[in-house]
Amino acid sequence: MSALLQARGVRKSFGGVEVLHGVDLDAAAGSVLALLGENGAGKSTLVKILAGDYTADAGEFVIDGLQYDHLNPITTRAAGIRMIHQEFQDAPTLTVGENISLGRLPTRRGVVHWREVRTRAERVLGQMGVDLDPDAPVGSLRIGERQIVEIARALSDEARVLILDEPTAALSQQEVDRLFEFLDRLRSQGAAIIYITHRLDEVHAISDRVQVLRDGSVAALGQTKEFDRRTLVQAMIGRSAGEVSRPARRSWQLGEKPVLELRNAGVERAFADVSLKVFPGEVVALYGQLGSGSAEVAEAVFGLRSLDAGEVRVDGKPAPARGPATSIGRGVGFVPADRKGEGILGVRPVAENVAAPSWRRLARFKVLVSRRSEAAAYRRWHDALSIRSRNDPLQAIATLSGGNQQKVVLARWLERGSPLLVMNEPTRGVDVGARAELYRSMRDLARQGIGMLVATSDYEEVVQVADRAVVMARGRAVAELDGGEITTQRLLTEAGG
Amino acid sequence: MTEHENVAAPPAVVPAEPLLRSQRARRILARVPEWAVLVVVLGALIAFFSARSPYFFQTDNFINILIASAVVGIIACPTTMLLIAGQFDLSVGAGVALVTAMFATSFVGGDGAFLSVLLGLAVGVGIGALNGFLVTVVGVNALITTIGTLGAMRAFAYIRTDGQAIGFEGFTTLGIDRPFLNIPWMVWIFVLIVLITGFVMKQTTYGRALYAIGANPTAARLAGIRTRYVIFIGFVISGLAVGLTGLLVASQTGQGSGNAAIGLEFQAVTAVILGGASLAGGRGSIIGTILGVLVIGVINNGLVLLNVVSFWQDVVRNLLLIAAVAIDQLRLRLARE
């Protein structure tokens, strides 16, 4: 095997914490290497070093027989290493042609040679077998097409090593198939491809070799055909699999009528044919990776997205999307994923943050709110949720830690008396200790008869908090796990399939 | 590993020791409102001008300061409400000019005081509703919207008056008559507006909603606040104040003119920012704004008494605006640390 790109003993620390402990990697010409690992295993850091975005603390690199002590964007570019990032790095207002030639627009006598821009785009798109208008603004394309433009840019730039960081997160199955065709063609033309993914089915569909990272070290390496789904998951989660514990067995009865019911619900380009029920006193997780549709289902339940198919019923009654105020009136509370951007009123006091949806009820004549009634609302939940703060209702919420901010957001809906809570990534950016407390609070709320729908991409979260789990992939509910069936192994396996 | 991308280099400058080590002292200080410093500034200015001019510390002069501050003060109250919600209304000065023009032409044309007053108020509310519609329904940025209506309204005022000042007699109640304590109606109206808006901002769900929207519009919406409706009403209130102020200015000057109230929006915004409202939204108070109005009023008055050329007053006022915004930025930075 001729390695086009070799990395040996790559080390990297951030803020005194080493996240790569001397990792090797080989990318061979005419071969696809699948790079796997949990969030935080070091995949993205490793490939960013290979692309020259980060500088390694230690390590040696051989590209095409030439040895380097470290890589920078200029050397990697000259060597033909191209990376497709997870987030698009295109210019949405520019055309397909301009994006493909971005940063190296052909010129003639100092003026942009527009005909060449177009022919270059047509040539590379033709090679890829896609029919895209070179003059269309990239922002007007579908996500999958934008991805293709990104790849076309890398190809037209004579990529010899192509790195793709979770390129299919937002793609439909059709678009994924198309992408794999390109990659296949590239491979036969002798390119070396490094492919990062969370999806186990893709590993077997596209890769020749597989390398699994865990906690900054190589946990497994070999020919793809030597691994099956189970051994890959085993390698990814390692010992940590047993460390996450299930909540105590439920000691309370669920309500008889579902507080939430989805019937064959669908939103175009997000999810389709999702049916589920949440009963009072139950925590149901919607587990799925980014782009699987789980977050979108949660948003649709709260009325932020209109269904194109099926229906949502809250407390037995049809609940078409009419915006947040109406949903709240129906008894739905919502905890958004982006706490700072969408959850908290940062500069305002914690008491107002708790009281906001309940102001009309707390007010005299529905109009006159007092600091005292808000403070009382805050104190009602301060101890119950063990919110750690100065116990000062006027403290600005932004000064609390992430976990405590999230508790205040929870308290907001408890004060409102919402029988159904919809949460989107409730513990994102919350440290481990606070996470455990939040899970305990959520279980407590369930005991009190509140129904919860928790959309999350964190499988350990599902294991620790859910009574039932609906697994989503590519906009579909692919499995439903109940009680003891909810294990990290099962979740990863089902979501990968 | 993307979570490591944001790991910052160690700060180049060693952070200064906290000014107050004691938690308790900090807590007490946190309770001191932001506008407290303005009370000190106001006191210092009054002491300074009193020492420099024998005419400053006189009851009549204080009434003059209040009269001079009333117009800006009445406009600054709804400006505060909107800025707290993260919105701007820069069309207020032009709106006032149009109201004076509409009132004067109608009054001179023999429509009678009552009808003409109603017309003036309706024009103000209409401008506010137009701004509110453009911002909340059409979705044009508030700054752009109100700069646009600013230009259009002033042009309308010139068209209505043929570019002339339309003088009239017999409408002095609002702007000139002094019902009691030798203080004119416009100052009493100013006080009344301050009390009403201050109450709304401190004690009502509507005021809370404005603060919430300014702090984080998305979070406010997700918490069930009907943000567009709240902002629309805010612009209508601003328009109502424009109508009222237009009538006061017309009554005080005895004319309607496209040249009325030039720069009023900037005087109002200066006072509001000086009073502690944040350009970032979510912070501010009516009482702070009023202190800001009075600081500006005292400076203007004092400089006149010290025979400083009036252009210097403009220089001082505009420097004050920049200083106020700079202080706002410093405050935001401190809050982040």
The secondary structure of A305-347 as a DSSP string is: S--SEEEEEETTEE-----HHHHHHTTEEEE-S-IIIII--TT
Decide if A251 is inside a domain.
no
Which of these, A160, A150, A143, lies nearest to A128 by C-alpha position? A150
Res A347: pLDDT: 87
As a whole number, mean pLDDT of residues B160-168 equals 84
Of B4, B31, B221, the CB nearest to A14: B4
Indicate if the pLDDT at residue A213 is higher than 70: yes
pLDDT tens, residue by residue, B25-41: 555 655 667 777 788 88
Q: How high is the pLDDT of residue A105?
A: 82
* B1/A40 touch (CB, cutoff 8 Å), yes or no: yes
Which residues on neighbouring strands pair with residue A137, listed in sequence order? A95
In angstroms, how far is the first alpha carbon of chain B from the final one? Answer: 26
Least Cα separation, residue B191 to chain A (angstroms) = 21
Range of weakest confidence among A279-293, A379-393, B63-77, B145-159: A379-393
Checking if the pLDDT of A149 tops 60, the result is yes
Cβ distance of B282 and A19 shorter than 8 Å: no
A202 with A148, same domain?
yes
pLDDT over threshold 60, residue A136: yes
Contacts of B1 in chain A (CB under 8 A): 14, 19, 40-45
Are the Cβ atoms of B224 and A356 closer than 8 angstroms? yes
Determine contact: A411 vs chain B, CB below 8 A: no
Residue B5: pLDDT band (50, 70, 90) is very low
Q: What pLDDT does A430 receive? A: 73
Q: How far is B200 from chain A (nearest CA, A)?
A: 9
Domains of chain B: 34-45+54-336 (1.10.3470)
In angstroms, the Cα distances linking A240 to A22, A43, A233, A244 are: 21, 18, 11, 7
- Inspect the interface and report whether the beta carbons of B282 and A392 lie closer than 8 Å: no
Domain assignment present for residue A24? The answer is yes
* Chain A CB contacts of B204 below 8 Å: 363, 367-369
Nearest by CB: A356 against B31, B223, B280: B223
Q: Are residues A267 and A327 in the same domain?
A: yes
Residue A15: is its pLDDT beyond 80? no
SS3 A66: strand
Read off the pLDDT of each residue in A113-126 and give the average, rounded to a whole number.
Answer: 86
User: Cα–Cα distance between A193 and A218 in angstroms, integer?
Assistant: 18
pLDDT surpassing 60 at residue B22: no
Contact list, B3 vs chain A (CB under 8 Å): 40
Please state, for a pLDDT cut of 90, what percent of chain B lies above it: 42
Q: How far is A39 from chain B (nearest CA, A)?
A: 7
Tell me the residues of B at the A interface, defined by beta carbons under 8 Å apart: 1-4, 7, 27, 31, 203-206, 208-209, 211-212, 215-216, 218-226, 278, 280, 282-283, 335
Domain boundary among A242, A277, A305: A242
At A243, the pLDDT band (50, 70, 90 cuts) reads low
Which residue of A lies nearest to B205 if distances are taken between CA atoms? A367
B143 pLDDT band, cuts 50/70/90, is: confident
In a domain, A254, yes or no: no
Instruction: Give the one of A86, A328, A369 whose C-beta lies nearest to B205's C-beta.
Output: A369
**What percentage of chain A carries pLDDT values higher than 70?**
95
Q: Which chain A residues are Cβ-neighbours of B222 within 8 angstroms?
A: 302, 324, 334, 336, 342-343
Chain A residue with CA closest to B4: the answer is A14
Q: How far is CA B96 from the centre of its chain?
A: 13
Is the Cβ–Cβ distance between B261 and B74 less than 8 Å?
no
Q: Among partner residues B1, B223, B282, which is closest to A357 by beta-carbon distance?
A: B223
Identify whether A253 is part of a domain: no
A131 is in which domain, residue-wise?
3-242
Let me know whether A31 and A173 are in one domain.
Answer: yes
Q: What is the pLDDT of residue A241?
A: 47
Lowest mean pLDDT among A206-215, A429-438, B154-163: A429-438
User: Looking at residue B3, what is its pLDDT?
Assistant: 39
**Is A205 in the same domain as A267?**
no
Q: Which residues on A lie below 8 Å from B220 (Cβ)?
A: 345, 356
Nearest to A418 by CA among A479, A486, A343, A333: A333
Given A212, A242, A272, which residue is the final one in a domain? A242
Q: Write the pLDDT tens digit of every residue in B177-218.
A: 777 888 888 999 999 999 999 999 999 999 999 999 999 999
pLDDT at position B334 is 66
Residue A240 has pLDDT above 70, yes or no: no
Q: Is the dihedral of CA A442, A446, A451, A455 positive or negative?
A: positive
pLDDT greater than 70 at residue A239 = no
Q: Indicate the range of A394-408, B262-276, B293-307 predicted with least confidence.
A: A394-408
Is the pLDDT reported for residue A445 higher than 70?
yes
Is the confidence at residue A35, as pLDDT, over 60?
yes
Residue A39 pLDDT > 90:
no
Mean pLDDT, all residues of chain A: 85
Q: Which residues of B touch A302 (CB under 8 A)?
A: 222
Q: Are residues A185 and A271 in the same domain?
A: no
Instruction: Inform me whether the C-beta atom of residue A262 falls under 8 Å from chain B C-beta atoms.
Output: no
Distance from the Cα of A226 to chain B's closest Cα (Å) equals: 27
Residue reference for tokens 């404005």: B210
Coil, helix or strand at residue B290: helix
- The pLDDT value given to residue B19: 44
CB pairs under 8 A between A and B: 100
Contact list, B219 vs chain A (CB under 8 Å) = 336, 341-345
Per-residue pLDDT at A490 exceeds 50: yes
Average pLDDT of the segment spanning B75-102: 93
Q: Provide the pLDDT for residue B275.
A: 87
**A310: closest CA of chain B, how far (Å):** 24
With an 8 Å Cβ cutoff, are B211 and A356 in contact? no
pLDDT tens digits for range A296-330? 999 999 999 999 999 999 998 999 989 899 999 99
Q: Tell me whether residues B222 and A45 touch, CB distance under 8 A.
A: no
- Give the minimum alpha-carbon distance from A413 to chain B in angstroms, rounded to a whole number: 9
Residues A70 and A34 in one domain: yes
Cβ–Cβ < 8 Å for B124, B240? yes
The answer on A185 and A66 residing in a single domain is yes
- Indicate the number of domains in chain A: 2
Choose the most confident range, by mean pLDDT, from B145-154, B192-201, B301-310. B192-201
Tell me, yes or no, whether A179 lies in a domain: yes
- Judged by average pLDDT, the poorest of A90-94, A237-241, A397-401, B160-164 is A237-241
A77 and A207 part of one domain: yes
Q: CATH no. for residue A180?
A: 3.40.50.300
Cα–Cα distance for residue pair A305/A107, rounded to 1 Å: 46
Count of alpha carbons within 13 angstroms of residue A22, beta-carbon side: 1
Comparing alpha-carbon positions, the chain B residue that sits nearest to A39 is B1
pLDDT confidence of residue B107: 87
Given an 8 Å threshold on Cβ–Cβ distance, is A45 in contact with B225?
no
Residue A120 lies in a domain: yes
State mean pLDDT over B101-109.
89
- Is residue A234 domain-shared with residue A267, that is, in the same domain? no
Which residues from A are below 8 Å from B209, CB to CB? 359
Residues of chain B with Cβ-Cβ distance to A341 below 8 Å are 216, 218-219
Indicate whether A37 pLDDT > 90: no
Q: Do A167 and A196 share a structural domain?
A: yes
Task: Give me the pLDDT at residue B254, please.
Answer: 85
- A249, part of any domain: no
Mean pLDDT along residues A424-444: 81
Residue A449 contacts B, CB cutoff 8 Å: no
| Residue contact A343–B222, C-beta within 8 A | yes
pLDDT band for B8, please (50, 70, 90 cuts). very low
Q: Using the beta-carbon criterion (under 8 Å), do B4 and A19 form an inter-chain contact?
A: yes
Two structure tokens written together for B286: 């009516």
Q: What is the mean pLDDT of residues A366-390?
A: 85
How many other CB atoms are found less than 10 A from the CB of residue A102? 16
CA distance B24 to chain A (A): 11
Instruction: State which of A242, A274, A309 marks the end of a domain.
Output: A242
The answer to whether A68 faces chain B, any CB pair under 8 Å, is: no
Are residues A205 and A273 both part of a single domain?
no
How far, CA to CA in Å, does B176 sit from each of B67, B183, B186, B254? 10, 9, 8, 10
Q: Does the distance separating the beta carbons of A348 and B282 come in below 8 Å?
A: yes
B209, B218, B224 member nearest A342 (Cβ): B218
User: A356 at the B interface (CB within 8 A)?
Assistant: yes
Give the C-alpha separation, A166 to B172, whole Å.
Answer: 74
C-alpha distances out from residue B240 to A352, B68, B246, Å: 29, 20, 10
Residue A365 sits in the same domain as residue A442:
yes
The whole-number pLDDT of residue B100 equals 93
Q: What percent of chain A has pLDDT over 90?
A: 25
Give the pLDDT band of residue A278 (cuts 50, 70, 90): very high
Does residue A47 sit within a domain? yes
